[in-house]
Amino acid sequence: MKLKIKFTLAATLLVVFILLGVSICLFLAERRHLINQIKENQINLVDGLVQVSKEYSITKDQILLINYINFLMRNKNIVYVLFTNSQGKILAHTNIQRLEEKDKTPIGLRATKIKKLLIQSYQNKKGERISDYALPVFMENKKLGVARIGFSQRELNKMMEETVTQTGKRIFVIAFVVLIIGIFSALILAQTLIEPIKKLVYGAKMIGRGKLNTIIEVNNKDELGSLAEEFNLMACQLKELDHMKQDFVSSVSHELRSPLTSIMMYIDLFFKGATGELTKKQIDFLTIMKDSSKRLNNFINDLLDVAKMERGKMEIIKQLVDIKAILRETIQLYVVQSDKKSIQIISKITENLPMIMVDSDKIRQVFNNLLSNAIKFTPENGIITVEIKNTRGYLQFSVSDTGMGIPPDDLEKIFNKFEQVKGVKSKIGGSKGTGLGLTIVKSIIKLHEGNIWVESALGKGSIFYFTLPNKK
Ligand X SMILES: Nc1ncnc2c1ncn2[C@@H]1O[C@H](COP(=O)(O)OP(=O)(O)OP(=O)(O)O)[C@@H](O)[C@H]1O
Q: Can you give the binding site for ligand X, defined by CB under 6 A?
A: 302, 369, 373-374, 377, 401, 403-404, 406, 414, 419-421, 424, 433-438, 462
Nearer to ligand X, 151 or 377 (CB): 377
Torsions phi, psi for 24 (to 5 deg): -60, -45
Residue 77 site contact among ligand X, Mg ion, none (CB < 5 to 8 Å, cut-off depends on kind): none
Q: From the list 84, 373, 400, 462, which residue makes contact with Mg ion (rule: CB under 5 A)? A: 373
User: 249: exposed, middle or buried (C-beta count within 10 Å: 0-12, 13-18, 19+)?
Assistant: middle
Q: Which does residue 343 bind out of ligand X, Mg ion, none, counting CB within 5 to 8 angstroms by kind? A: none
Q: Is the dihedral of CA 369, 432, 282, 340 positive or negative?
A: negative
SS3 per residue for 389-403: EEECCEEEEEEEECC
Nearer to ligand X, 69 or 306 (CB): 306
Q: How far apart are CA 144 and CA 57, in angstroms?
A: 8
113 or 446: CB nearest ligand X: 446
Which of Mg ion, ligand X, none does residue 377 bind (CB under 5 to 8 Å by kind)? ligand X
By a kind-dependent CB cut-off of 5 to 8 A, residue 401 interacts, out of ligand X, Mg ion, none, with ligand X
Beta bridge mates, 457: 461
118: alpha, beta or left? (left if phi > 0; alpha if psi -120 to 50): beta
Closest distance of CB 386 from Mg ion, Å: 16
| CB neighbour class for 417 (10 Å; exposed up to 12, middle 13-18, buried from 19) | middle
The SS3 assignment for 82 reads: strand
Which partner in Mg ion, ligand X, none is near 360 (CB below 5 to 8 A by kind)? none
Shortest Cβ 258–ligand X spacing (Å): 22
Site for Mg ion contains 330 (CB under 5 A)? no
406 binds, among Mg ion, ligand X, none (CB under 5 to 8 A by kind): ligand X
CB 368 within 8 A of CB 330: yes
Per the CB < 8 A criterion, the answer to whether 45 and 149 are in contact is yes
Minimum distance, C-beta of residue 310 to ligand X, in the bound complex (Å): 15
Rank residues 420 and 451 by Cβ distance to ligand X and give the closer one. 420
Q: Is 182 in the site for Mg ion (CB under 5 A)?
A: no
Position 437 contacts Mg ion (CB under 5 A) = yes
Nearest position to Mg ion, beta carbon: 437
Which of Mg ion, ligand X, none is residue 152 near (CB under 5 to 8 Å by kind)?
none
Q: Provide the 3-class DSSP secondary structure of residue 120.
A: strand
Q: Tell the smallest beta-carbon distance from residue 402 to ligand X (Å).
A: 10
Handedness of CA 249, 252, 255, 260 (dihedral sign): negative
> Judged by CB, which is closer to ligand X: 433, or 450?
433
Rounded Cα–Cα distance for residues 371 and 373 (Å): 5
Residue number, 152 or 369, with CB nearest to Mg ion: 369
Instruction: Name residues whose C-beta falls within 8 Å of residue 29's C-beta, 6 or more positions apart in sequence.
Output: none
Write out 405-440 in H/E/C secondary structure.
CCCHHHCCHHHCCCCCCCCCCCCCCCCCCCCCHHHH
403 touching Mg ion, by CB under 5 A:
no
Q: Is 112 in the site for Mg ion (CB under 5 A)?
A: no
Among 123-131, 240-248, 313-321, 435-443, which window interacts with Mg ion (CB under 5 A)?
435-443
C-beta of 39 vs 341, nearer to ligand X:
341
Site residues for Mg ion per CB under 5 A = 369, 373, 433, 437
